[in-house]
Amino acid sequence: MNYTGLSDGQLTALSFIYVSLLSSSLIGSCSVVVLSIVKRRHLNEQAKPLLQLALADFLASLVLFGTTIINFLSYETLPRSEILCTDGLPLSLMFYCISFLLVIIYACESAHSAQGWRQQDEEEHRHQGRRRAFDLLYFFVWLTPMMGYVIYIRTVTFSLVSYVPSSGTSDGPDSVWSEARFCNSCILFLHLHIEDGLCSTVDLDHNNFIRGFTFVCVLSVLTCCTLVYWRLQGWYRRYEQAGLFTDSPRCTGRIWSSARYMILVIIFCWTPALILISFSFACSESNRLYPLFVIQAMAVSLQGFLNSIVYAWRRRNFREAVLGERLPLLAYANKAFFEQSLSDTP
């Protein structure tokens, strides 16, 4: 049969794209994590989802960065690389899933704050109860994907041996080597496009699980965030018509502008991946989809960087807290962090 996978040059180019762009995501998300910890007195507990979101993005980028580095190492240098790749790629998707869940929580917290939860929870015990409830929610947001990941890696049915082509080709030794390199490569979503019989160690059932898991996660976070921010905009418009907000048109415009950027990050980063996964059902010739692999690698790799800008550095209140130009939020009488995260101008 004819070899239809990516060539050595294409695999190397994809690896360089991942490494270079993931570096920017690591820097961006790490900066938010470090500064959120150092300036925690200024950001206070209301910035907790921001810290956890940045941490999830950082871990996802770090794991994906580490698995991509495997492509530049020989099996003599790293003899157990197939195990690291098998476990590493699903681990990065697990952290991206946690990031998606935290994005939903951030949207709900922002909407709740903007609608005046501080006035509703004036009693101390009610505030503490709400805080415990959200702490428990954060616990399950991290625990549930981790449990799913453990189940996934424990049920992988292929043997942990080096990926080798199940059949040779008639095009000579160079083609056989390219085929082996393709089966060995540690690239996100690459093995979803394995032609039947090309790599005997690929678990088709787990490939199908990855397809469905990615679709459900991305579509769920887009749907939930869109509904939350849409309802928040509707709430502001109702109060505007009632004459309760003097600056409501300007405030509503800022809220929807910030929410739109938050949603656009997910659309930009994961639409190429969804398209690539969709093509995997109909096209097993990866070489024809190489431009889409490049676009997908660039988009996914930038999620941590873009989230750090949209959720942190673009927000004036975050910059002021980091630069020490404001008092801690408990002593800041105007607005809570989440409310400002939606309404502050850059």
At 178-233, the pLDDT tens digits run 666 777 788 888 877 665 555 655 566 777 788 888 888 998 898 888 888 787 77
Tell me how far CA of residue 144 lies from CA of 64, 92, 130, 140, in angstroms. 20, 15, 21, 6
Percent of the chain with pLDDT over 90: 27
What average pLDDT does this structure show over 62-74? Answer: 88
Q: Is the pLDDT of residue 82 over 50?
A: yes
Quote the pLDDT of residue 195. 59
> In 10 A of CB 1, how many CB atoms?
12
What average pLDDT does this structure show over 67-94? Answer: 78
Quote the pLDDT of residue 37. 85
Quote the pLDDT of residue 342. 54
Question: How far apart (Å, rounded) are the C-alpha atoms in residues 182 and 81?
Answer: 14
Contact, 269 vs 96, CB < 8 A?
no
**Which of 102, 97, 18, 105 lies closest to 62, judged by CA?**
18
pTM for this one? 0.82
Q: Exposed, middle or buried, 291 (CB in 10 Å: 0-12/13-18/19+)?
A: exposed
What average pLDDT does this structure show over 220-249? Answer: 70
Domains of the chain are: 8-343 (1.20.1070.10)
**Which of 340, 341, 336 lies closest to 127, judged by CA?**
336
Q: Is the pLDDT of residue 344 over 70?
A: no
> Which residues are paired to 165 by β-bridges?
199
Q: What angle do CA 130, 132, 136 make, to 5 degrees?
A: 115
Work out the end-to-end distance of the chain between its first and last CA atoms, rounded to an integer number of angstroms: 57
At 109-159, the pLDDT tens digits run 777 666 554 444 444 555 566 667 778 888 999 999 999 999 888 886 544
What average pLDDT does this structure show over 241-270? Answer: 69
Contact, 107 vs 50, CB < 8 A?
no
When the pLDDT of each residue in the chain is averaged and rounded to a whole number, the result is 76
Q: What is the dihedral of CA 313, 314, 320, 323, to 10 degrees?
A: 30
Q: Is the pLDDT of residue 93 over 90?
A: yes
Confidence of residue 321 (pLDDT cuts 50, 70, 90): confident
Quote the pLDDT of residue 227. 86
Quote the pLDDT of residue 283. 67
